[in-house]
Amino acid sequence: MRIIKVFDTTLRDGEQSPGASMNVEEKLQVARQLQRLGVDIIEAGFPIASPGDFEAVRRVASEIKGVIIAGLARAKDEDIERAAEALRPAQLRRIHTFIATSDIHLQYKLRLSREAVLEAAEKAVKKARQYTDDVEFSAEDATRSERDYLCRVLEAVIQAGARTINIPDTVGYAIPQEFGELIEYIKNKVPNIDKAVISVHCHNDLGLAVANSLTAILKGAGQVECTINGIGERAGNAAMEEIVMALKTRPRFFEADTKIVTQEIYKTSRLVSKITGMVVQPNKAIVGANAFAHEAGIHQDGFLKERSTYEIMRPEDVGIPQSKLILGKHSGRHAFKARLEELGYRLSEEELNRAFERFKHLADQKKYIFDEDIETLVSEEVSKIPEIYRLLDLSVTSGTNVKPTARIRLGINDKVVERIEQGDGPVDAVYRAIASITETKSELLRFEVKSITGGTDALGEVTVTLEEEGYTVRGQGADTDIIVASAKAYINALNKLAIRKR
């Protein structure tokens, strides 16, 4: 069995999904879980992109030991210096430098000749090697690059000291057979290829990112770059859980495996979904709510007689909890903390106290508390951001024969402002009142409500997407009252927008 290295880029390419940005604390939570999941490399960010990205890479590098921490850098001195600085506290560090090699990018984006790009690539790798032996080079848009030129660049960067050469399908253009041939071509044509690991990084624009990655593995790739739940730029990146479970389920076909602790997959998926607000579609392979549900009578009958009739993987192999009912009103702080740890959350003492207080409050409103309820409570705690606007009070009247009216009181820094507004429905009235108090110019792009668990006493979770001045943010709020959850989500998004604008 070959062991394929898993390079996780949820915190970098994944975070490039519109509205999925994470703050430093959230990135740390995800990084800790990725460590438990057993990934080989965590790409923690793009340090030159913003002070927040720099700080996140530095904090992940300081805290997460025993895993290689990578920072992205364009093939430019200042990027590489910044990445090296952010990665300094890491026990194991990798600088990941890249430049595009396709004529389209050279002509329209970089406005550089092929020779100039080749020189910049070589120079960048040499520069990065001054800070670490572990340097990865990516030929951006490799799949639309002229093959022989691509091979020349790869040969030069390996000669300059790159230990991993990454072949990105940046725009998700490749078809599996063709991508496999490209990997084979590189293996045959680059004379020093045995001195580097071939990595692949596939985007999902045609829905082929996982298929392309698996084909590349069959052709000799030794590293896959991927994200949890497949989040990422545009249609996303290759989904880690799908690649890992394909290898696990078909060992004789692939003769390859990873070091991923598959029982941690589901937890990781939930954590990333909660933190980014990117909901996992129910029919998503491996981690979707229906991935192991058998609906048709014939299927249920077969499954009950012998589970392998309709199940190629077991839910427990990816860590889907068997018993979901966990805590109630009488559960103590200790049980609460233990359950949180099992779910992948490690909170500071102060965060734990606040989360436990909210848990007790919820337990008063709701008889049974499920894992999903706990995750919702806690992810709100973990994702806490500085609050300019705070919800102090809300009351609404609505019904069949009254005009829906909302009275709302918000704290804005140390001021308190109250407003009454009417709307087409109770949520509309609440949103009008909030918009009027905050004077927001943002546009509401999406409004989603979902019930976290079953029952009429379930927590309702609302996710809103707002846009203003080119910034897109997602806000979340949960409450047993969906009007309150809607208000919380809108206020959460407005707070995020205020921070982004600053």
Residues that bind ligand KIV (CB under 6 A): 13, 98, 138, 140, 166, 168, 170, 201, 203
Q: Contact at 8 Å (CB) between 186 and 150?
A: yes
Residue 204 interacting entry, from Zn ion, ligand KIV, none, C-beta within 5 to 8 Å by type: none
Residue 366 interacting entry, from Zn ion, ligand KIV, none, C-beta within 5 to 8 Å by type: none
Q: Which is nearer to ligand KIV, 98 or 431 (CB)?
A: 98
Other CB atoms within a 10 A radius of the CB of residue 455 amount to 12
What is d(CA 228, CA 216) in angstroms, rounded to the nearest whole number? 19
Residue 173 interacting entry, from ligand KIV, Zn ion, none, C-beta within 5 to 8 Å by type: none
Q: Is 308 exposed, middle or buried (0-12, 13-18, 19+ CB in 10 A)?
A: exposed
Strands (E), 81-128: 93-100
What is each CA distance from 56 to 49, 52, 128, 229, in whole angstroms? 11, 6, 20, 21
Q: Which is nearer to ligand KIV, 162 or 320 (CB)?
A: 162
Q: Which is nearer to ligand KIV, 70 or 485 (CB)?
A: 70
What is each CA distance from 214 to 89, 143, 176, 184, 218, in whole angstroms? 34, 16, 8, 14, 6
Minimum distance, C-beta of residue 101 to ligand KIV, in the bound complex (Å): 10
Q: Which residue do the tokens 């407005």 mark? A: 494
Residue 495 interacting entry, from ligand KIV, Zn ion, none, C-beta within 5 to 8 Å by type: none
Minimum distance, C-beta of residue 74 to ligand KIV, in the bound complex (Å): 9
Q: Contact at 8 Å (CB) between 318 and 262?
A: yes
User: Which residues pair with residue 407 across a beta bridge?
Assistant: 395, 420
Q: Which is nearer to Zn ion, 162 or 291 (CB)?
A: 162
Minimum distance, C-beta of residue 140 to Zn ion, in the bound complex (Å): 8
What is d(CA 9, CA 16) in angstroms, rounded to the nearest whole number? 10
Residue 381 interacting entry, from ligand KIV, Zn ion, none, C-beta within 5 to 8 Å by type: none
Residue 138 interacting entry, from ligand KIV, Zn ion, none, C-beta within 5 to 8 Å by type: ligand KIV
Minimum distance, C-beta of residue 170 to Zn ion, in the bound complex (Å): 6
Residue 140 interacting entry, from ligand KIV, Zn ion, none, C-beta within 5 to 8 Å by type: ligand KIV
Q: From edge to edge, which strands make up the β-sheet containing 389-397?
A: 389-397, 405-412, 415-422
Q: Which residue is nearest to Zn ion (CB)?
A: 13
Minimum distance, C-beta of residue 423 to Zn ion, in the bound complex (Å): 42
Residues 6+ apart with CB under 8 A from 386: 495, 499
Residue 465 interacting entry, from Zn ion, ligand KIV, none, C-beta within 5 to 8 Å by type: none
Residue 58 interacting entry, from ligand KIV, Zn ion, none, C-beta within 5 to 8 Å by type: none
Q: Which is nearer to ligand KIV, 166 or 440 (CB)?
A: 166
Q: Which is nearer to Zn ion, 98 or 431 (CB)?
A: 98
Q: Which is nearer to Zn ion, 43 or 421 (CB)?
A: 43
DSSP line for 380-438? HHHT----SEEEEEEEEE--SSS--EEEEEEEETTEEEEEEEE-SSHHHHHHHHHHHHH
Minimum distance, C-beta of residue 224 to ligand KIV, in the bound complex (Å): 12
User: Which residues pair with residue 412 across a beta bridge?
Assistant: 389, 415
Minimum distance, C-beta of residue 438 to ligand KIV, in the bound complex (Å): 36
Instruction: Tell me the one-letter amino acid at 461.
Output: E
Residue 423 interacting entry, from ligand KIV, Zn ion, none, C-beta within 5 to 8 Å by type: none
Chain contacts with Zn ion (rule: CB under 5 A) = 13
Q: Which is nearer to Zn ion, 40 or 479 (CB)?
A: 40
Minimum distance, C-beta of residue 17 to Zn ion, in the bound complex (Å): 11
Q: Is 145 exposed, middle or buried (0-12, 13-18, 19+ CB in 10 A)?
A: buried
Q: Which is nearer to ligand KIV, 98 or 179 (CB)?
A: 98
Other CB atoms within a 10 A radius of the CB of residue 398 amount to 17
Residue 368 sits at φ, ψ, to 5 deg, of -110, 135
Q: Contact at 8 Å (CB) between 234 and 205?
A: yes
Minimum distance, C-beta of residue 84 to ligand KIV, in the bound complex (Å): 17
Minimum distance, C-beta of residue 138 to Zn ion, in the bound complex (Å): 8
Q: Which is nearer to Zn ion, 236 or 319 (CB)?
A: 236
Q: Contact at 8 Å (CB) between 169 and 203?
A: yes
What is d(CA 237, CA 207) in angstroms, rounded to the nearest whole number? 10
Q: Which is nearer to Zn ion, 13 or 134 (CB)?
A: 13
Minimum distance, C-beta of residue 65 to Zn ion, in the bound complex (Å): 26
What is d(CA 9, CA 4) in angstroms, rounded to the nearest whole number? 16
What is d(CA 159, CA 126) in angstroms, rounded to the nearest whole number? 9
Q: Which is nearer to ligand KIV, 97 or 262 (CB)?
A: 97
What is d(CA 450, CA 499) in angstroms, rounded to the nearest whole number? 26
Residue 79 interacting entry, from ligand KIV, Zn ion, none, C-beta within 5 to 8 Å by type: none
Q: Contact at 8 Å (CB) between 462 and 493?
A: no
Residue 98 interacting entry, from Zn ion, ligand KIV, none, C-beta within 5 to 8 Å by type: ligand KIV
Minimum distance, C-beta of residue 72 to ligand KIV, in the bound complex (Å): 6
User: Which residues pair with residue 197 across a beta bridge?
Assistant: 164
